[in-house]
A and B are shown apart, each in its own frame.
Chain A
């Protein structure tokens, strides 16, 4: 079970859109529509932003959206705001009642 692959960092200016990728394998991301995304501000616990690839929990801004193609899932944040600056992690069900996380992506709002 290997960690999902995310870019180490992405950046964007306020108002712009950015996309964070999350690449797995046919054993995890590619096989199940069970990808989640988490936002983590420094010193804080992660917060669920997207579940089951595309769904948003109540209270999460519709500026956050998720998608998946093959073995790669993506998180898109539109209309970037300063408060979006954080670390983002993807996770996926990996079969046999196991879960795998990505390595995390640091988002910088310029």
Chain B
């Protein structure tokens, strides 16, 4: 059974870089049928797509965050990671990693499997 698990610091200081890792278990991250994405949700607010990556390393980002975001993939560890630089209090949120379908007819661009989420607070 496929599972995704986020990990990383729960507290980050303003102006520093937020770093999270998503570990995929139960399936290979190197599948050609999926992207792997990050989505966040500020407390009491809606979902925001941050970006997604293919196993080949091709990454796609939300234009509003593009200048601060980097997503990478490590197929040997079955993990992908998020870096968000120059964080402020507005980046305080629950961060989810999720599998994103890359094949038409089976849920193209939908996030079909989600991690449980991890809360990251930006505060000094």
Contact = CB atoms under 8 A, between A and B. Distances in A.
- State the main secondary structure of chain B at its contact with A: loop
By size class, the interface of chain A is 20 to 34
B46 A104 contact: yes
Nearest to A49: B110
Interface size class of B (residues with CB under 8 A): 20 to 34
Given A52-B107, A91-B110, A101-B46, A45 B96 contact: yes
Contacts of B89: none
Contact of A98 (B45, B60, B104, B114): B60
A36 B60 contact: no
B83 interface: no
8 contacts: A1-B62, A34-B109, A34-B110, A46-B111, A51-B108, A93-B108, A101-B47, A104-B46
Interface of B: 37, 39, 45-49, 52, 60, 62-64, 96, 101, 104-112, 114-117
